[in-house]
């Protein structure tokens, strides 16, 4: 296939480009580098199956060839207000990527009669009242909170994708992505994995906000990309959760990082500085992915962190 991937220079987008190329497809990457990193794609520049278009998906998209699939991954994704790349500091761009970007990429899929895959998020569940979260759960979301620019953009994107599927007959798919980690994460995006790894590798105490009882479910990037690829090749139109169902508290995660990195500095507890509607628990129900895609994550947390550490050491200049 010839596949258009928006957000190609991002953490997930760049790994997705690699996966598609490895499977023998041609890839057209698209990014405007607001949060994407050109270095994530540098090693693909000489690949004859890869080409790149610098473009903002909020504007009309022209692709010079007929594509067979469109994968819309363009959006700021970090919730951290301390990060310049967080969506709370890029609120309008985030809303445009979710609304206008989804509309424009669906337009490409419609014009090319191509299959379409939307990168949605576990954030559409908000601060959930259901655990674990199934795809049938409608969510518990503040529509005007500071996180809403991301949550509601993705919820609108899902609604628009299904409207194009029902009204225009577009062959659509929706993946709801849960917390993912691995090489090429932005070190300065303010999320817990890069924060903890940087502090641990510098032998600094890990900063845990609140009592550390909030939970996340961490999925290694290779596992996630495999699930997304399987979804692309499937015939499933309804949303599918892709993530790791093993729930871990932030305190447990900090202890794991310190153990793996042999960080003697321990951790420091500080008052909760997260956004008011920050989800307290996050855990996917992946029954649908197991049943439809024959997929589940295979990388244990400790093994995934060990695979991630060399990238962080390289970025930090640590031998």
- Tell me the catalytic residues: 150
Map 213-267 to HEC letters. Answer: CCEECCEEHHHHHHHHHHHHHCCCCCCEEECCCCCEEHHHHHHHHHHHHCCCCCE
CA dihedral 249, 252, 257, 258 (to 10 degrees): 150
CA separation (Å) from 20 to 5, 24, 69, 202? 10, 7, 11, 35
Rounded to 5 degrees, what angle do the CA atoms 77, 79, 81 make? Answer: 125
Instruction: Write the DSSP string, 168-213.
Output: H---EEEEEE--EE-TT--TTS--HHHHHHHHHHTT--EEEETTS-
């Amino acid at each position: 296939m010839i596949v258009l991937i928006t957000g190609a220079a991002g953490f997930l987008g760049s790994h997705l480009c690699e996966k598609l190329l490895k499977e023998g497809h041609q890839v057209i990457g698209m990014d405007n580098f607001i949060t994407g990193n050109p270095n994530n794609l540098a090693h693909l520049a000489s690949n004859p199956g890869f080409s790149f278009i610098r473009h903002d998906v909020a504007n009309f998209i022209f692709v010079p060839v007929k594509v067979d699939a469109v994968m819309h991954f363009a959006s700021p994704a970090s919730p951290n207000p301390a990060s310049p790349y967080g969506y709370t500091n890029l609120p309008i761009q985030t809303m445009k990527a979710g609304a206008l970007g989804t509309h424009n990429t669906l337009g490409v899929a419609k014009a090319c009669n191509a299959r379409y895959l939307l990168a949605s998020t576990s954030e559409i569940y908000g601060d959930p009242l259901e655990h674990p979260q199934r795809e049938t759960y409608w969510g518990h979301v503040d529509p005007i909170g500071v996180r809403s620019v991301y949550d509601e953009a993705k919820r609108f994107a899902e609604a628009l994708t299904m409207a194009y599927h029902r009204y225009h007959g577009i062959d659509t798919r929706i993946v709801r992505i849960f917390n993912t980690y691995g090489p090429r994460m932005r070190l300065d995006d303010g999320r817990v994995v890069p924060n903890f790894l940087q502090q641990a590798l510098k032998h600094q105490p890990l900063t845990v906000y609140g009592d550390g009882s909030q939970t996340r479910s961490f999925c290694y990037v290779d596992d996630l990309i495999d699930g997304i690829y399987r979804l692309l090749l499937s015939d499933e139109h309804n949303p599918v959760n892709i993530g790791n169902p093993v729930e871990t508290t932030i305190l447990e995660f900090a202890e794991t990082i310190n153990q793996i990195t042999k960080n003697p500095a321990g951790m420091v507890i500080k008052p909760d500085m997260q956004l008011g509607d920050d989800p307290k628990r996050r855990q996917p129900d992946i029954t649908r992915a197991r049943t439809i895609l024959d997929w589940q994550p295979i990388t244990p947390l400790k093994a995934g962190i060990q695979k991630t550490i060399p990238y962080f050491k390289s970025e930090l200049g640590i031998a």
